[in-house]
Amino acid sequence: MCGIAGILNGAKLPLDQIYSFMRHRGPDDKGSFSDFTQGGLLQFFHARLSIQDLSTLAHQPMVYKDLCLVFNGEIYNHLQLREGLEFDFQTHSDTETLLAMFAHFGENFLENLNQLDGMFAFALYDKKNQKLYFARDRMGKKPLFCYKKDTKFVFASELNALCRIVKSLNLSLELDYDAINFYLQGGFFYRDGTPYKNVFAIPSAHYGILDVRTHNLILKPYFKLESCYKMPKIKDENQALTLCEELLKQSIRNRIESSDLEVGAFLSGGIDSSLIVALASQIKPNLRTFTISFENTAFDESSLAQKTANQFGTSHQNLKISTNLVQDVPRILQAYGRPFFDSSAIPSFYVAQAAKEHLSVVLNGDGADELFGGYRRYVGHLLMPKILPFVFLKDFLPNPKSKQSLYNYFYRLLQMAGAYKRDLGEYYLRASTDIFVGFHSFESENYKQFQTEVKMIFKAGYPSLSQMLLLDSSHLLLCDLLPKMDIATMAHSLEARSPFLSKSLVEFAPTLEENLKVRGTITKYLLRKLAQKYLVKEVVNAPKRGFEVPLSAWIEGEIKELVLDNLQSSKFVQEFLPKNMIESLCNAPQKYPKEKRAKMLWCLFALEMWNQNLRKINGSY
């Protein structure tokens, strides 16, 4: 796991300067490469976190003849992919495997990137053909951001690093107000985008080819998740259960055995991480596991995690979070390089920080909910035809007071029903992030594109549940959950591996009959059946929570002054939301549902924290 960066046709910058921007992603080694191309000076930079092949021979940038590669990620099946390649291998690193495959197949290799089981983002320079190649893994676990304007081109693993490089080159960054408006509406950037014009993410499951002579960039997909949902369905429960167990076991084994360092696991009280720990413990006895808990909240799952740890004899640590939120929250939010809404970034940051004190590689449960149907709202989505006749009730119900109550669940279902026939984009946002919807609309072209995409998925003939799973994979997972974990872990030089996002499981889960995912009111049906074989009943039947936080309690308590003072004094936030509504949110809490108000304030606060960080980068703060 690493940090990568590069510059085409810019001033020559020293390695130590670029390394200082991304050292947290790779503190073990650093390297650079430069060459004068027909389109200007090319520079590659690399910060290495050594996981596979700890020798200096695996140093990056890695050069072979006319090829140079910088790579971030892990390819778990790379040794199998070496078979049949005519190449004099010097290491057992996956970096060299990628280099060898490109040397052997050339550009045709890019069309077959779906052979790779792993998470990756890379840039490869072909001096002979004067081309730069970029690629990103199928689900978008590893980020790769690019700045392109006229003949100038910059790329980096993180937006903060990219912005600092652009600033060092005396290039300008222009805010994209349309993209920011969509963030405020949805809680994420459309298609993993950015708050800047001329800055974009290489899309997941895509590769790019940049001709350094003409500076023309083309992007092409090499994998489409939709195609997996069109495959014939597995209907037999026993067959599905057997296959699921085999594939998950192999995925976990690959992610443990492909590391030259010790591998541990995050452990919550839910079935995703608990199943991973159960199966991983068969491969690695005395597995190190980590969970967190907040005192005096309804979100404490440490007792369930402890049951799983005791059952499988893991070396478990329950991390009682002693926080200084006023000090830590701005720093955590600003690490994302763009406004970041998901408040579970806070506990993710803390658990990653604590885990790094013990090891450098952990397993997590990312992807299970979006592939196997883990959210309660999926039940509501399937019941929507039965709920629609009662939509009129939504105008007569009082605001809910508790997030975890059944009343809140049905209140939200009725709000979703109100949007179902009016605006499918709004319907999806009410079902997922549910921030300003119903209280304020942020007009943007991004939102119109999003509306069109949601409508296309709903009208494309997919079964009802598959509609939501596809949307969640391309939005909630890609734009929120995976960036959250990447930044939280890499901020502490910690690598997070996600067995549920293996090539085999990503292709297997969409082929399951829908009632093997959600059956009646039971979410993640197949995984729960598998969990019954390994886990105690309390864990099997535990509701979906994840790393949740007592956000409304925080905003009414420890960080109230921090949040309200920043928002009421921010002229920047007032460019997007009327001052009177900001004042109302801050000073008239009775007008809003408690949890929804907390999310609206948090969304605005994250925007202001990003703005302050950008001003620091620009030297104007």
- pLDDT score of 129: 97
- pLDDT score of 299: 57
Spatial separation of the C-alpha atoms in residues 514 and 516, rounded to whole Å: 5
- pLDDT score of 1: 66
> Which tens digits make up the pLDDT trace of 533-555?
999 998 888 776 656 688 999 99
- Residue 44 pLDDT > 70, yes or no? yes
Hey, is 377 helix, strand or coil? helix
- pLDDT score of 400: 79
Could you tell me the CA-to-CA distances from 26 to 3, 50, 72, 116, 493 in Å, in that order?
6, 8, 10, 23, 6
Of the candidates 442, 463, 270, 255, the one whose C-alpha atom is nearest the C-alpha of residue 365 is 270
- pLDDT score of 58: 82
> Which tens digits make up the pLDDT trace of 61-102?
999 999 999 999 999 999 999 998 989 999 999 999 999 999
> Which tens digits make up the pLDDT trace of 494-507?
999 999 999 999 99
Of the candidates 312, 306, 300, 299, the one whose C-alpha atom is nearest the C-alpha of residue 267 is 306
Question: What is the reported pTM?
Answer: 0.95
| Residue 297 confidence class, pLDDT cut points 50, 70, 90 | low
Fill in the DSSP letter of residue 202. Answer: P
| Residue 359 confidence class, pLDDT cut points 50, 70, 90 | very high
> Which tens digits make up the pLDDT trace of 585-595?
999 999 999 99
- pLDDT score of 620: 62
| Residue 269 confidence class, pLDDT cut points 50, 70, 90 | confident
- pLDDT score of 123: 98
- pLDDT score of 15: 97
Long-range contacts of 252-257 (CB under 8 A, 24+ apart): 252/276, 252/279, 252/280, 252/283, 252/363, 252/499, 253/283, 254/76, 254/77, 254/117, 254/502, 255/76, 255/363, 255/497, 255/499, 255/502, 256/280, 256/283, 256/284, 256/363, 257/283
- Residue 276 pLDDT > 60, yes or no? yes
- Provide the percentage of residues in the chain whose pLDDT is more than 90: 85
Q: Which of 9-13, 114-118, 550-554 has the lowest mean pLDDT?
A: 550-554
- pLDDT score of 361: 96
- Residue 111 pLDDT > 60, yes or no? yes
Please provide the DSSP assignment of 313-325 as one string. Answer: T-EEEEEE----H
Q: Is 376 exposed, middle or buried (0-12, 13-18, 19+ CB in 10 A)?
A: middle
Spatial separation of the C-alpha atoms in residues 118 and 376, rounded to whole Å: 29
> Which tens digits make up the pLDDT trace of 404-449?
678 888 888 999 999 998 999 999 999 999 999 989 999 999 999 9
- pLDDT score of 319: 77
User: Residue range 483-490: average pLDDT?
Assistant: 98
| Residue 294 confidence class, pLDDT cut points 50, 70, 90 | low
Spatial separation of the C-alpha atoms in residues 51 and 332, rounded to whole Å: 25
Cβ burial 247-263 (10 Å sphere, 16+ → b, else e): bbebbbbbbbebbeeeb
